[in-house]
C-alpha cells in the first residue's frame, strides 16, 4: 500500500478546486478523480493487491479521500450556482428611476362622440335610442315615408341597390322611424332617436361622402305642434353649441313632413355679425325637420286625426365639422390617426 500516493492526492484535492471558475471545469475535475479512469477510482482498483491485514485501513483511507472530494465538490457546486443566480438577478433588475415608456392612449371616434352627446341630451328628455338595419327594404326607406316609386324626391337619395330595386343600403335613418311606428301598434306615444350609418351614390368630395351618419328623431303624441319641435330644437342647440345659441326655422320641403323646416343656429364664431363659416349671414343650417306628414302616420298605423308628431334629422358629420372646425368630410373616413390626435375629445370635455 502506497500511503505516499494517498497523502499526495489528499493535498492535491485541498487546492484542486481553487482553479474552478465554472460548472464545466467543475465537471471536468469530477471526471478526472471519480470518473471511470479517475485518480480515486484507479486507486480503489488496487485494493485487490493490498495484503489482507492492510485492506481495512486502505479502504478507510480511500473513503476519506472520496468524502473530502465530494465535500469540496458540493461546496463549489453550490457557490457556482449561487453566483449564476446573482448574476441573472442583477441583469434583470428593474431601474425604477428610468423614465417610463409612453403608451399611446386612444380617443373616442369623433362621430361616435358627437352621437353620444346628442343621445345623452335626448335621453334626458325621455327619448329611446333605437337601432335599425342598414340593409333595408324599399318599402321602409321610401314608400312608407310618402316617397312612392318614380317620385322625383328619390333622385336626391339615389343609393346602392342590393337586389333589384327592393333591397338597398338605406339612404336615411328614417326607415327606423317607420319601423318603430309600425311596431308600436298605432296607439302609443313615441319618443325616439335613431342614429346610424346611411349611404348615397354620391361622388366623394370635401362636403359629400357615399357613407355618412344621421341622427334622426321622432315624437308622436296627441296635441303636438310645431312649437314643441321649436322648443326641443332649442334645447339641443344650446346643449351642443352653448347657452347663447339662438335658433330659427325657415320653411322648407320634405316629402315625409308637412310643414317642413330647415333649422338654423346663430353663428357661434361671429355671434351673428357675419364670417366665412356662416357665409356672412350670421346663421348656420344644422338640420331638417317638420311635422310628420299625415300620409306617413297613416302608412305606419297611426290615425292622423288623433295623433300628431314631429321628426328631425341631423348630419353627424356636419355637427362634428361645425363643432371642431373640420373642413373636409373625408377626414372621418380615412382612418388617419392624426385626426384623432388633432381632435382629442378628452381635452374638449
Contacts with Zn ion by CB under 5 A lie at 267, 269-270, 275, 277-278
Which residue, 182 or 269, is less far from Zn ion as judged by CB? 269
Question: Which of 232, 287 has the CB closer to Zn ion?
Answer: 287
Q: How far is the CB of 186 from Zn ion (least distance, A)?
A: 44
Q: Toward Zn ion, which CB reaches closer, 224 or 270?
A: 270
Q: By C-beta, is 194 or 267 nearer to Zn ion?
A: 267
| Grid cell at residue 83 | 453566483
What are the residues facing 220 on neighbouring strands?
190, 309
Please say which residue, 43 or 267, places its beta carbon nearer to Zn ion. Answer: 267
To 5 degrees, how large is the angle CA 258–CA 302–CA 261? 15
User: At closest approach, how far in Å is the CB of 285 from Zn ion?
Assistant: 12
Closest to Zn ion by CB, 282 or 301 = 282
For the bound state, the minimum distance from the C-beta of residue 266 to Zn ion, rounded and expressed in Å, comes to 8
Nearest distance from C-beta of residue 325 to Zn ion, angstroms: 12
Residue 170 near residue 133 (C-beta atoms within 8 A): yes
Report in angstroms how near the CB of residue 206 gets to Zn ion at its nearest: 19
Cα separation of 270 and 285, whole Å? Answer: 15
Write down the residue that cell numbers 300628431 correspond to: 308
DSSP secondary structure of 18-61: GG--SHHHHHHHHHHHHSTT-HHHHHHHGGGGS-HHHHHHHHHH
Record the cell numbers describing residue 294, joined without a space: 299625415
Helix (H, G, I), strand (E, B) or coil at 165: coil
Using CB atoms within 10 A of its CB, is residue 129 exposed (0-12), middle (13-18) or buried (19+)? Answer: middle
Closest contact distance (angstroms) between CB of 195 and Zn ion is: 27
Amino acid at each position: 500500500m502506497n500511503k505516499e500516493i494517498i497523502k499526495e492526492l489528499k493535498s492535491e484535492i485541498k487546492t484542486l478546486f481553487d482553479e474552478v471558475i465554472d460548472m464545466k471545469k467543475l465537471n471536468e475535475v469530477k471526471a478526472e478523480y471519480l470518473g471511470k479512469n479517475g485518480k480515486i477510482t484507479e486507486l480503489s482498483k488496487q485494493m485487490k493487491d493490498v495484503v489482507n491485514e492492510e485492506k481495512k485501513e486502505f479502504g478507510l483511507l480511500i473513503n476519506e479521500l472520496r468524502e473530502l472530494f465530494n465535500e469540496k465538490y458540493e461546496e463549489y457546486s453550490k457557490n457556482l450556482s449561487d453566483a449564476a443566480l446573482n448574476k441573472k438577478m442583477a441583469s434583470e433588475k428593474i431601474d425604477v428611476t428610468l423614465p417610463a415608456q409612453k403608451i399611446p392612449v386612444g380617443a373616442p371616434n369623433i362621430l361616435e362622440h358627437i352621437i353620444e352627446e346628442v343621445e345623452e341630451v335626448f335621453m334626458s328628455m325621455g327619448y329611446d335610442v333605437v337601432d335599425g338595419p342598414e340593409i333595408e327594404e324599399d318599402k321602409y326607406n321610401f314608400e312608407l315615408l310618402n316617397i312612392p316609386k318614380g317620385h322625383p324626391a328619390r333622385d336626391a337619395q339615389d343609393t346602392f341597390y342590393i337586389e333589384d330595386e327592393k333591397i338597398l343600403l338605406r339612404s336615411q335613418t328614417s326607415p327606423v322611424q317607420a319601423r318603430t311606428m309600425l311596431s308600436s301598434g298605432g296607439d302609443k306615444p313615441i319618443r325616439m332617436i335613431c342614429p346610424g350609418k346611411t349611404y348615397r351614390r354620391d361622388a366623394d368630395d370635401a362636403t359629400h361622402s357615399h357613407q355618412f351618419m344621421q341622427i334622426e328623431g321622432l315624437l308622436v303624441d296627441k296635441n303636438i305642434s310645431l312649437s314643441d319641435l321649436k322648443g326641443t330644437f332649442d334645447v339641443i342647440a344650446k346643449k351642443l353649441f352653448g347657452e347663447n345659441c339662438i335658433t330659427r326655422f325657415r320653411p322648407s320641403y320634405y316629402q315625409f313632413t308637412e310643414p317642413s323646416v330647415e333649422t338654423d343656429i346663430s353663428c357661434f364664431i361671429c355671434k351673428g355679425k357675419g364670417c366665412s363659416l356662416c357665409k356672412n349671414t350670421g346663421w348656420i343650417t344644422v338640420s331638417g325637420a317638420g311635422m310628420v306628414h299625415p300620409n306617413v302616420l297613416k302608412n305606419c298605423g297611426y290615425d292622423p286625426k288623433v295623433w300628431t308628431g314631429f321628426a328631425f334629422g341631423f348630419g353627424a358629420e356636419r355637427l362634428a365639422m361645425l363643432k371642431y372646425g373640420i373642413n373636409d368630410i373625408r377626414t372621418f373616413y380615412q382612418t388617419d390617426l392624426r385626426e384623432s390626435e388633432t381632435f382629442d375629445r378628452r381635452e374638449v370635455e
